[in-house]
């Protein structure tokens, strides 16, 4: 039984297993837990299931999406029909359009405080447009991640977007955010973004990949372990050929050009550590959207707030530590998907199934060979597409790093060198980097690197600095009214703790 302060009110939900997120990991976890006999509550910030990977047009407009442009759509359709069946049978309570802004643990389980994702707009499904409290003895967190960004001169101009933002725009709206695109960064994710733009009618002037295909050579065994990825690659190659999209390796955007909006980009070739090769500069004119993708940042606010142990993954991301059943260091708390390491949707589904089954106390799924192969593939991908160690050399002192608070690379370097502010939290206090609207979600990684940067080789910051920048008392913006409504239970919680 939960303590009084954690009991849901009239609008609350009690469940055996709570799941946060309805992307590949969350959907799989919910289905597995429900099919193992648990009463499940699923909270998702999105208005319909799918998460980032299976994001699709509103089902109110396209009730039966055909999955065009999606991979693994058959898996989605299977999970979705099992999800809908469990909902119809009353085993899953689905709460779309709500984001969890705070998670608390107590002896017997977890409490999730939620708030509408878009205030005042009721979600399309039968979710609630008012805050709900979810209480459950076991919790599976599958909040996914978002694009990792590196600053570059001019990236604060309108028209500079995250590569995932461009893709989400196309998948969610069946429309393009511009006409002529350059996509830059590193990793296989640049391929579906460029392919999606071209297939939707946009012109991709170039895809600039900072790494090189030869970086895969030491990892061919790991790559061969997931043959489906090579097939995906071949599919993108054929789309690139059909639309004549140039794919330039060891190339980066050194500056985004324009006054009030992006009009072009300056690019250059780089060496194996990311140093610009003199004399290789080139300018692309007539660009109205430039998309950057440097891998993904797992959303660690909720696991961190519950005290889950973390580690640095091969791509320099902070991720949660889990056992073979996806249980974190906190009893009853399971993690699946990007929060255990960025590894793609197939791995997220496998982890979700394992986590949901274990959380429902179903028959434990043994860690499968397929899961192991996907993990190996993910590690190889991170090694073949690293953040170039010399990326800090691309910045000028007046390059904006924190776009919300307009904090420059020069101001951060001054705070580091003159005030000894070396971790993300100290830099935040001294410079306001990460103190704005996005709360460091966009600039956190770069700020942590710059703070610790010795010379220019500090590509990956430490666990402590990343945790410092990812730890937020509120995981999502929340109305003051919802905070004040907590006054009573908060006191009760304190009492409970003291006792
Ligand atoms: C923008 C974007 C585009 C991508 N496109 C591709 C692609 O084309 N190909 C590819 O191979 N990989 C892609 N990826 C990576 C891929 O999405 C992941 O590997 C996979 O989706 C991970 O599944 P997940 O369930 O862990 O997370 P997600 O699919 O990200 O799902 C997480 C869900 O949790 C919800 N959520 C997060 N925080 C909260 C909260 N506090 N409260 C309530 N709900 C919350 C989110 O709204 C989301 O619905 C993309 C990632 C991003 C960020």
How many other CB atoms are there within 10 angstroms of residue 183's CB atom? 30
Q: Locate the ligand 1 atom nearest the alpha carbon of residue 162 and give its number.
A: 1
Better-scored residue on pLDDT, 325 or 8:
325
Q: Looking at residue 487, what is its pLDDT?
A: 66
Structural domains for the chain: 4-145+297-380 (3.50.50.60), 151-293 (3.50.50.60), 391-459 (1.10.10)
Four-point Cα dihedral 113, 119, 122, 124, nearest 10: -90
Hey, which of 76, 102, 144, 303 would you mutate to test ligand 1's pocket, going by the most ligand atoms within 8 Å of its Cβ? 144
Question: Do residues 184 and 207 touch, judged by C-beta distance below 8 A?
Answer: yes
pLDDT tens digits, 22-34: 999 999 999 999 9
Cα distance from N-terminal residue to C-terminal residue, the chain: 16
- The protein residue with its alpha carbon nearest to ligand 1, atom 24, reads 144
Answer yes or no: is the C-beta of 99 below 6 A from any ligand 1 atom.
yes
Q: Looking at residue 454, what is its pLDDT?
A: 46
Non-local (6+) Cβ contacts of 254 within 8 A are 152, 153, 266, 267, 268, 276, 281, 394
pLDDT tens digits, 300-349: 999 999 999 999 999 989 999 999 999 999 999 999 999 999 999 999 99
Q: Locate the ligand 1 atom nearest the alpha carbon of residue 165 and give its number.
A: 1
Question: For residue 58, what are its two tokens?
Answer: 């509103």
Q: Looking at residue 121, what is its pLDDT?
A: 56
Question: For residue 119, what are its two tokens?
Answer: 């205030």
Question: Do residues 155 and 173 touch, judged by C-beta distance below 8 A?
Answer: no
DSSP string, 438-488: TTTTTTHHHHHHHHH-STT---S--HHHHHHHH--S-SS---HHHHHTTHH
Q: Confidence class of residue 459 from pLDDT cuts 50, 70 and 90?
A: low
Average pLDDT over residues 5-21: 78
Question: Do residues 18 and 104 touch, judged by C-beta distance below 8 A?
Answer: no
Q: 417 burial class (0-12, 13-18, 19+ CB within 10 angstroms)?
A: exposed
How far, in Å, CA of 375 to CA of 149, rounded?
Answer: 23
Distance 264 CA to ligand 1 centre (A): 30
pLDDT tens digits, 61-75: 888 888 888 888 999
Answer yes or no: is the C-beta of 146 below 6 A from any ligand 1 atom.
yes
In 3-state terms, what secondary structure has residue 274? coil
Looking at the predicted structure, is the pLDDT value of residue 114 above 80?
A: yes
Q: Locate the ligand 1 atom nearest the alpha carbon of residue 193 and give its number.
A: 8
In 3-state terms, what secondary structure has residue 357? helix
Q: Confidence class of residue 247 from pLDDT cuts 50, 70 and 90?
A: very high
How far, in Å, CA of 375 to CA of 205, rounded?
Answer: 33
Looking at the predicted structure, is the pLDDT value of residue 493 above 70?
A: no
Nearest 5°: CA angle at 409, between 476 and 383? 75
Q: Confidence class of residue 498 from pLDDT cuts 50, 70 and 90?
A: very low
Q: Locate the ligand 1 atom nearest the alpha carbon of residue 144 and give its number.
A: 27
Looking at the predicted structure, is the pLDDT value of residue 486 above 90?
A: no
Q: Looking at residue 60, what is its pLDDT?
A: 87
Q: Looking at residue 265, what is its pLDDT?
A: 98
Q: 9 burial class (0-12, 13-18, 19+ CB within 10 angstroms)?
A: exposed
Average pLDDT over residues 383-393: 94
Distance 50 CA to ligand 1 centre (A): 8
Give backbone dihedrals phi and psi of 250, rounded to 5 degrees, phi first.
Answer: 45, 45
Distance 143 CA to ligand 1 centre (A): 7
Average pLDDT over residues 414-437: 91
Distance 285 CA to ligand 1 centre (A): 33
Answer yes or no: is the C-beta of 45 below 6 A from any ligand 1 atom.
yes
pLDDT tens digits, 141-159: 999 999 999 999 999 999 9
Q: 209 burial class (0-12, 13-18, 19+ CB within 10 angstroms)?
A: buried
DSSP string, 187-241: STTHHHHHHHHHHTT-EEEEEEESS-GGGGGGGHHHHHT-HHHHHHHHHHHHHHH
How far, in Å, CA of 271 to CA of 249, rounded?
Answer: 10
Mean pLDDT of all residues belonging to the chain: 90
Answer yes or no: is the C-beta of 164 below 6 A from any ligand 1 atom.
yes
Question: Do residues 147 and 190 touch, judged by C-beta distance below 8 A?
Answer: no
Share of the chain above pLDDT 70, in %: 91
H helix or E strand, kind and range, residue 88: helix 73-88
Better-scored residue on pLDDT, 476 or 356:
356
Q: Confidence class of residue 4 from pLDDT cuts 50, 70 and 90?
A: very low
How far, in Å, CA of 407 to CA of 399, rounded?
Answer: 8
Answer yes or no: is the C-beta of 349 below 6 A from any ligand 1 atom.
no
How far, in Å, CA of 256 to CA of 249, rounded?
Answer: 19
């Amino acid at each position: 039984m939960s303590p009084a302060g954690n009991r849901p009110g009239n609008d609350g939900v009690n469940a055996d297993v709570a799941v946060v997120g309805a992307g590949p990991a969350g959907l799989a976890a919910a289905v597995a837990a429900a099919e193992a006999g648990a009463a499940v509550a699923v909270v998702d910030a999105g208005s319909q299931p799918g998460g980032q990977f299976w994001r699709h047009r509103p089902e109110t407009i396209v009730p039966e999406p055909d999955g065009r442009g999606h991979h693994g759509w058959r898996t989605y359709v299977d999970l979705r029909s099992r999800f809908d069946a469990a909902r119809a049978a009353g085993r899953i309570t689905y709460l779309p359009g709500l984001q969890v802004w705070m998670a608390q643990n107590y002896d017997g389980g977890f409490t999730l405080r939620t708030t509408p994702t878009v205030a005042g707009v009721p979600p399309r499904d039968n979710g609630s447009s008012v805050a709900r409290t979810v209480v459950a003895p076991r919790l599976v967190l599958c909040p996914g991640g978002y694009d990792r960004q590196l600053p570059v001169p001019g990236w604060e101009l309108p028209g500079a977007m995250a590569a995932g933002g461009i893709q989400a725009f196309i998948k969610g709206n069946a429309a393009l955010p511009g006409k002529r695109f350059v996509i830059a960064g590193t990793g296989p994710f640049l391929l579906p973004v460029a392919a999606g733009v071209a297939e939707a009618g946009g012109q991709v002037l170039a895809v600039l990949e900072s790494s090189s295909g030869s970086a895969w050579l030491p990892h061919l065994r790991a790559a061969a372990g997931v043959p489906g990825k090579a097939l995906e690659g071949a599919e993108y190659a054929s789309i690139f050929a059909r639309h004549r999209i140039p794919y330039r390796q060891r190339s980066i955007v050194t500056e985004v050009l324009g006054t009030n909006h992006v009009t072009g980009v300056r690019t250059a070739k780089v060496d194996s550590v990311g140093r610009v090769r003199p004399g290789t500069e080139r300018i692309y004119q007539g660009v109205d959207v430039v998309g950057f993708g440097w891998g993904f940042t797992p959303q660690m606010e909720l696991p961190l707030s519950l005290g889950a142990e973390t580690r640095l993954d091969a791509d320099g991301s902070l991720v949660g530590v889990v056992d073979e059943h996806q249980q974190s260091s906190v009893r009853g708390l399971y993690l699946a998907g990007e929060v255990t390491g960025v590894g793609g949707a197939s791995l997220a589904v496998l982890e979700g199934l394992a986590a949901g089954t274990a959380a429902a106390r179903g028959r434990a799924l043994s860690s499968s060979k397929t899961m192991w192969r996907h993990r190996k593939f993910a590690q190889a991908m991170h090694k073949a597409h690293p953040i170039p160690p010399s990326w800090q050399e691309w910045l000028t002192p007046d390059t904006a790093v924190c776009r919300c608070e307009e904090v420059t690379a020069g101001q951060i370097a001054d705070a580091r060198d003159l005030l000894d502010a070396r971790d993300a939290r100290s830099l935040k206090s001294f410079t306001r980097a990460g103190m704005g609207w996005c709360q460091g979600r966009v600039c956190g990684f770069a700020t942590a690197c710059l703070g610790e940067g010795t010379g220019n080789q500090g590509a990956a910051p430490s666990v402590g600095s990343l945790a410092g920048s990812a730890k937020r008392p509120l995981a999502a913006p929340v109305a003051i009214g919802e905070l004040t409504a907590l006054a009573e239970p908060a006191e009760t919680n304190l009492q409970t703790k003291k006792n």
